[in-house]
Amino acid sequence: MLLSDASQSHGLFRRLHIDTPLLLGLMVLAGFGLVVLYSASGQDMGQIWRQVIRLGIAFTAMLVLAQLHPDTLQRWAHWIFGIGLAMLVAVLVLGVVGKGAQRWLDLGIIRFQPSELMKIAVPMMVAWYLADKTLPPRLRDLAVALLVILVPALMIAKQPDLGTAVLIVGTGFFVLLFAGLRWRWLVSAGVLAIPVGWALWTFAMHDYQRRRVLTFLNPESDPLGAGYHIIQSKIAIGSGGLYGKGWLNGTQSHLEFLPERHTDFIFSVFSEEFGFMGLLFLLAAYLFVLLRGLYIASQAQDSFTRLLAGGLTMSFFIYLVVNIGMVSGLLPVVGVPLPLLSYGGSSMVTMLAGFGILMSIHTHRKLLKS
C-alpha cells in the first residue's frame, strides 16, 4: 500500500531524503492548483508563471529541509522559537509605532512574516519541551506547553491575524493530544472555554472580527457587505452541481461575482467548475496526504519527531478544514488559504517546509534489524 511503502523508495529519491508518496500527493494537489488558478485568474499566464515560481521555491525549501537531520532540529528548536518570539515582539512594537495592522518585518532585502515561522516553531517547541517528559504529560508540563502555544498565538492575534492565531493554537492542541492529553482535562477545558470565550468576545476581539462571526451566523443579514463573500461562494458551489459547469466556464468566477477568487475562495471556483465529483477527488487527494503524514508520525522513533510530525500534519489539516468550512458557510470568514491551491507565497513555503521536515523524519530513521 502506497501509504506505508516509504522504505522501498527509489535510489535517487532515497538518497535525496524524499518520501515519494507524499511528494506525489503534494504534486497532484499543486497541479490541481495551477489548473484552477488558470481559470480563476481569467486565463492570465503571468499569474500562472508567478505561482509556478513560488511552487519552485516552496518545493526547494521542502527539499532543503528534508536533508536536515531531525536531531539538528531538536537541538535548534528552542533557539528557533526564541528568535521567532523576538521578531513577533519587534513586529508588535513597530505596529504600535506605525499605528495599524502590522504583520511584516522589513529585513531590508526581503519582507518577512514572523507568524509564518511560528507555524513551525510552535509545534516544534512543544514537541521539544515534551520530548523528555513522561507522557501523558503532567499538569505542570501541560501548563508550560500551553504557555508556549498561547503567548505567540495571542501576539499574532493582536497583529491582528486571527487565521494564523487559530491555526497555531489548533496545531499546538493537536501536539498535546498526540502527547496523550488526558480526556478529563480536555473535558474540563471545554467547560472552561465557555466563560473564556465570552471574555475574549467582550474584551479581546476587534469589531471587524466580531462582525465576521456575526455575519457567519447569518450571512443574508448583510448581502452586499460582509455577507457577500459567503453568499456568492455558496452560489458558486451550489450551482456547480454534480459535474460542474466545466473548466473555464464558471460564471460566478469569470463574471467576477466571486471575490478573492484566486486566493481564499479558489475552492469555490473549483467546486463551480468541477462539481461534486471533482470535489470528491480533490478531498481524496487531501486525505491521502493527511493519512500519509499521520503514518509517518506513527512510524517516527522518538517523542520529538513523533509529536513534530503529527503537529505539522495537523496544521495542514486545520488549513484545509478552516478554508473549506469558510467558503461553504460552515465556519466564519477567517482569511486562511487553501493549501497548495490558493495563489500566494509565504504560507505555501511554510507548508512545504513542514512537509520537508516530515520527509526528513521519515527518511532519517535508523532502521535497526531486530
What are 105's strand-pairing partners? 112
Q: Which residue in 185, 234, 247, 344 binds another protein (CB under 8 A)?
A: 234
- Taking the C-alpha atoms of residue 177 and residue 126, their distance in angstroms, rounded to an integer, is 12
Site for another protein in 244-263 (CB under 8 A): 251-252, 254-257
Q: Is 271 in the site for another protein (CB under 8 A)?
A: yes
Q: Are 58 and 349 in contact (CB under 8 A)?
A: yes
Could you give the dihedral angle defined by the CA atoms of residues 84, 85, 86 and 87, in that order, rounded to the nearest 10 degrees?
Answer: 50
What are 106's strand-pairing partners? 111
Q: Is 205 in the site for another protein (CB under 8 A)?
A: no
Identify the CA nearest to 176 among candidates 79, 59, 310: 310
Size of site (CB under 8 A) for another protein: 52
Q: Is 248 helix (H, G, I), strand (E, B) or coil?
A: coil
Q: Is 276 in the site for another protein (CB under 8 A)?
A: yes
Q: Which residue in 134, 188, 221, 249 binds another protein (CB under 8 A)?
A: 134
Phi, psi at 306, each rounded to 5°? -60, -50
Cell numbers 471545554 correspond to what residue?
Answer: 190
- Of 9-17, 28-36, 147-155, 307-315, the window that binds another protein (rule: CB under 8 A) is 307-315
- Taking the C-alpha atoms of residue 240 and residue 204, their distance in angstroms, rounded to an integer, is 39
Q: Is 298 in the site for another protein (CB under 8 A)?
A: yes
Kindly tell me the number of DSSP H helices and DSSP E strands found in the chain: 14, 2
94 to 133: interface string for another protein, x by CB under 8 A? --------------------------------------xx
Q: Give 159 or 268: the residue with its C-beta nearer to another protein.
A: 268
Site for another protein in 315-334 (CB under 8 A): 317, 320-321, 324-325, 328, 330
Binding site for another protein (CB under 8 A): 132-136, 174, 177-180, 232, 234-242, 251-252, 254-257, 271, 275-276, 279-280, 283, 286-287, 290-291, 294, 297-298, 302-303, 306-307, 310, 314, 317, 320-321, 324-325, 328, 330
